[in-house]
Each structure stands twice: as C-alpha cells, then as structure tokens.
C-alpha cells in the first residue's frame, strides 16, 4: 500500500512537471488607471474597481491618484491591494527637463523621481513608469537627440537611489515622443540594471511603427505595459488611425501575446484603453512630414505599410470628443464609454486571448 501510494505520488509529480513544461507563462491582466480617468477615482476606489473585474494588476499612473503621499495612507493602499491580490505598478510623468511636458513645479527631475520612488517603495512595487515628452518633442527647436541626452543625464544621476529603493524605472514610448530604437538607446546608455521599458502598443503608430516591431525591440527590457488596440488604414495623404477597444483594431493580439509571453511574461499586461477620439491622419505622402523622421529606416517603414494595408476604418459605434467644452450630456456619455470600452477589452483579453 505504501509502495503504491509512493508510485502514485511520483507519477502525479512527473505529470505535473511535464504539463508545466508545455504550459504557457501566465501573464497578469490589469488596467492602467488612465483608462477610467473621467471618474476621478483615487487609489482605493481604483483597486476596488479592478477587483470587481477580477483583475490582478493595476498601474496607478500618476501621483495625483493618491489621496495623500503620507506613509500611513500609502501603507493602507498597499495593505488593501494585498488583501485583493492585486499587484501595483507605480507611475510619474515627464522626467526630461528639456521637454515641453516637464513641469518645473516638481523642482528638479531628480527630486521628482525621488518623490515617485518613495511612493513606489512604500507600495512595495517594483516598476515605476515615466516618460520623456510627446509629439511636440519631434517638431520643436531641439532635435529629439537633445531630449534623449538630457534624459540619459538625469537617469544616470539617480542610478544609486533607484537601486537602493529596489524599484525599476520604466520609460514609456509616450504619445509620439520616441520610437522603439530610441527608447532602447536611452535604457542601454543609462543602465539596464535600473531602467526598463513601459511598453505602449498604441503610441507607435504616431511614429509609423508597427507595434509588433516595438515589442520585438523592447521586449527584453519590458517591466510594465500599456496595451490597447489601434485601427489603422490607408488614406489619400498616407495613413489614418483611431484607438479602439481591444480586438476591434488592426493589431494581431494572438501573435502579440505569443511574443509577449516569450519576451516579458513577468510584466503585467495593463489595458490602457483610450477611445472617444476622432481618427488622426499621418500624411507621410507629403514631403514636410518626413522632416522629423530623417533617420527612419526603410525596412521599418515597409513593415508599417504592410500592417496598415491589413487594416480598415473602425466601423463600430463610438462617441468622439470635439474641440472645446462638450455639453454635459455628451460628457456623461463619454465618461461611461471609458468604462464600457475598458470592460469590453477585459472580456476580450480574458475570453479570447486567455490572459489572466
């Protein structure tokens, strides 16, 4: 009897081991809090909302989403996340002093980073998102290389503080500021022992970059993410695009997830769903457009073209914001759309992609 029990246990352990070898790495499914920004929820409410969706990760993308930065309050947030089984990633804004996005009210970039690090450390998080700027940095008086150099200088100056805190800075490819190769350059020249990537799948389109190229380039450095879908299609002036709910755009998320699991399975997959914005045109057929992309590689552009040609305009229902203030009824509908589109994206990720 003892011998049979031993054999049964051994066979069971071997079967479990064999199954484990063939199993795909499990990726945490979460949300980036910008997805539901119109609700103006604070950290505890955001965690409760994520728990209601059975998510296991949240990126709290700004310090303003905490009621306080006092240790007692942050400890309360950390404990609450622990009870809910939710992993928190932290976030701050621009850390580049030459960027149009930099806020001088934060003192110096070093002081701002330290402020964020103290919050991240108090929460027990291991990744803190930050960024350089926006599309404005591609067309301003300074070349993008100058902003990259300024950011590298800042990052090198805080290396020891970051290592001491046990937090990794996660540089986002943010809203058209940097392509994947430029983000990788900053990471490697600053120090990949303390700087990684916050992979954003929606922003590469601004730079005529296929998000799969972004993933392949930055995957080994990714420590956190912003994942959303983009509908992209041909336009007489070049290309047009619109951000949409997951599964309604041109990104092949089955292929994306396969590579994500292979390259960075330890990084939570945070849905940052941004809808309610009209289509944007990328007029690459016009010579002036290329003045801000003097180093764009032909092979990368061809990959973007192939991705674009697979796409088509979004034909679903969506409210979009106009310029200026909206009527209260529109604002209320747009607010609810954020929640509806995020929750539809969660359903797609969980039931179609089998994440989380």
pTM of the predicted structure, to 2 decimals: 0.92
Look over the chain and give the mean of its residue pLDDT values, rounded to a whole number: 93
Q: What is the pLDDT of residue 259?
A: 98
Q: Which two tokens stand for residue 232?
A: 């992209």
Axis crossing angle, helix 43-52 with helix 71-84, rounded to the nearest 10: 0
CB contact set of 217 (below 8 Å; sequence gap of 6+): 180, 181, 183, 184
How do residues 23-79 score in pLDDT, each as one tens digit? 678 999 999 999 999 999 999 999 999 999 999 999 999 999 999 999 999 999 999
Burial class (CB in 10 A: 0-12, 13-18, 19+), 35: buried
How far is it, in rounded angstroms, from Cα 204 to Cα 209?
5
Of 244, 181, 249, which is closest to residue 209 (Cα–Cα)? 181
Shortest CA distance to 303 belongs to which of 215, 183, 235?
215
| DSSP, res 207 | G
In this model, does residue 268 exceed pLDDT 90?
A: yes
Contacts of 214 (CB under 8 A, 6+ apart): 173, 179, 180, 199, 200, 201, 204
Kindly tell me if the per-residue pLDDT of 299 is higher than 60: yes
pLDDT at residue 20, as a whole number = 44
pLDDT at 22: 55
**Comparing 8 with 226, which gets the higher pLDDT?**
226
- The mean per-residue pLDDT over the stretch 209-220 comes to 98
Q: Which residue in this structure is represented by tokens 């330290």?
A: 114
Q: What is the DSSP letter of 53?
A: T
Ordered DSSP codes for 309-330? HT-----S------SSPPPHHH
Phi then psi for residue 19, to 5 deg, are -65, -40
Range in 23-27, 167-171, 304-308 the model is least confident about? 23-27
- The pLDDT tens digits for 113-122 are 999 999 999 9
Q: What is the pLDDT of residues 9-33, one digit of tens each?
A: 333 433 333 334 456 789 999 999 9
Report residue 45: phi and psi, to 5°. Answer: -65, -40
- For the CA atoms of 350, 353, 354, 356, the dihedral, rounded to the nearest 10 degrees, stands at -60
Q: Hey, which residues does 94 pair with through a beta bridge?
A: 131
Give percent above pLDDT 70 in the chain: 93
Q: Which domains does the chain have, with CATH numbers?
A: 27-351 (3.20.20.150)
């Amino acid at each position: 009897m003892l011998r049979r029990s031993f054999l049964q246990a051994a066979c069971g352990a071997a079967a479990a081991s064999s199954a484990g070898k063939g199993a795909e790495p499990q990726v945490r499914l979460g949300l980036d809090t910008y997805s539901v920004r119109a609700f103006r929820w604070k950290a505890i409410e955001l965690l409760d909302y994520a728990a209601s969706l059975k998510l296991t990760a949240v990126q709290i993308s700004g310090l303003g989403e905490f009621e306080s930065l006092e240790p007692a309050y942050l400890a309360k947030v950390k404990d609450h996340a622990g009870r809910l089984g939710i992993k928190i990633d932290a976030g701050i804004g621009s850390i580049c002093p030459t960027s149009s996005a930099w806020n001088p009210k934060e003192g110096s970039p070093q002081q701002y980073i330290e402020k964020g690090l103290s919050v991240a450390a108090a929460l027990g998080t291991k990744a803190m998102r930050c960024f350089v700027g926006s599309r404005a940095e591609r067309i301003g008086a300074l070349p993008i290389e100058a902003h990259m150099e300024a950011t590298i200088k800042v990052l090198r100056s805080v290396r020891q503080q970051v290592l001491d805190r046990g937090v990794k800075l996660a540089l986002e490819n943010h809203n058209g500021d940097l392509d994947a190769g430029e983000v990788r350059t900053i990471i490697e020249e600053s120090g990949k022992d303390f700087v990684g990537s916050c992979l954003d799948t929606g922003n590469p389109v601004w730079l005529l970059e296929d998000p799969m190229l972004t993933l392949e380039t930055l995957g080994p450095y990714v420590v956190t993410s912003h994942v959303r879908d983009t509908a992209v299609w041909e336009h007489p002036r070049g290309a047009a695009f619109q951000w949409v709910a997951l599964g309604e755009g041109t990104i092949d998320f089955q292929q994306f997830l396969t590579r994500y699991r292979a390259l960075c399975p330890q990084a939570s997959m945070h849905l940052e769903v941004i809808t309610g914005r009209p289509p944007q045109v990328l007029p690459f057929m016009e010579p002036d457009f290329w003045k801000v992309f003097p180093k764009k590689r032909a092979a990368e552009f061809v990959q973007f073209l192939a991705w674009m040609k697979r796409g088509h305009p979004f034909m679903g229902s969506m409210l979009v914001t106009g310029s200026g203030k909206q009527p209260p009824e529109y604002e209320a509908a747009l607010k609810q759309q954020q929640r509806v589109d995020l929750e539809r994206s969660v359903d797609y990720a969980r039931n179609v992609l089998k994440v989380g």
